[in-house]
Amino acid sequence: MKLLLTSAGIKNQSIRDALVDMLGKPIAESNALCIPTAIYAIPGGAGHAWGFFSGEGGTPMCELGWKSMGVLELTALPSIDADVWVPLVKEADVLLVNGGDPLYLHYWMRKSGLAELLPSLRAVYVGLSAGSMVMAPNIGPYFVNWTPPEGGGDETLGLVDFAIFPHLDHELLPYNTMAAAEKWAAGMRGPAYAIDDETAIRVIDGAAEVVSEGNWKRFSV
């Protein structure tokens, strides 16, 4: 399984080079599926979804020049036969997973059946903020906003063994400081990373490597 877990998309050449290397071919020869779902659980989500698709959001994902793009809306999948959408996911070269609310994304990944498919896919999974955080075992109370109808804690997919604090020192998020990240990490159950928007974590077969032109920190248990 290949994961590229970013804070804000393909923000620099180092992250782009890592993506191309993971794809094993140029972006222009690769077919993408875009997953906007997480964004709808935050205020103004519909507009942010358009920014994700159009490239106006400042988080480069869909606008990179893919050979083809499709939209996989997870909230629609429970009402559709699996044989309609599962083959498309299995054939994709890359899944581009938008940010928003990580617990909302986790809920719909489970409910749609995508979560069960992820470990077996050949596609490179590229997460943006919440799209990256959802891979962790949990996100920590700091990031809990939306909660599922049946309630629950802060657990997510657990497909990696570390958690992520994105948007470190972001100018529009003055509370996302290194001090806040350190306090968050102290309450986590395993390793954790704080990463800024110029940083990503590449994971191949469970082995994690930081790709960065910015600022980041790893917190051990």
Q: Is the pLDDT of residue 216 over 90?
A: yes
Q: pLDDT tens digits for 13-54?
A: 999 999 999 999 999 999 999 999 999 999 999 899 999 999
Q: Please give the average per-residue pLDDT across 64-89, as a whole number.
A: 97
pLDDT score recorded for residue 202: 98
Share of the chain above pLDDT 70, in %: 100
pLDDT band at 189 (very low <50, low <70, confident <90, very high): confident
Would you state the pLDDT for residue 214? 97
Token pair 């891979």: residue: 135
Report pLDDT for 151. 83
Q: For 2-219, which CATH superfamily applies?
A: Class I glutamine amidotransferase (GATase) domain (3.40.50.880)
Would you state the pLDDT for residue 104? 98
Structure confidence at residue 57 (pLDDT): 84
Give the pLDDT band of residue 8 (cuts 50, 70, 90): very high
Mean pLDDT of the chain: 96
Q: How confident is the model over 144-170, as a mean pLDDT?
A: 94
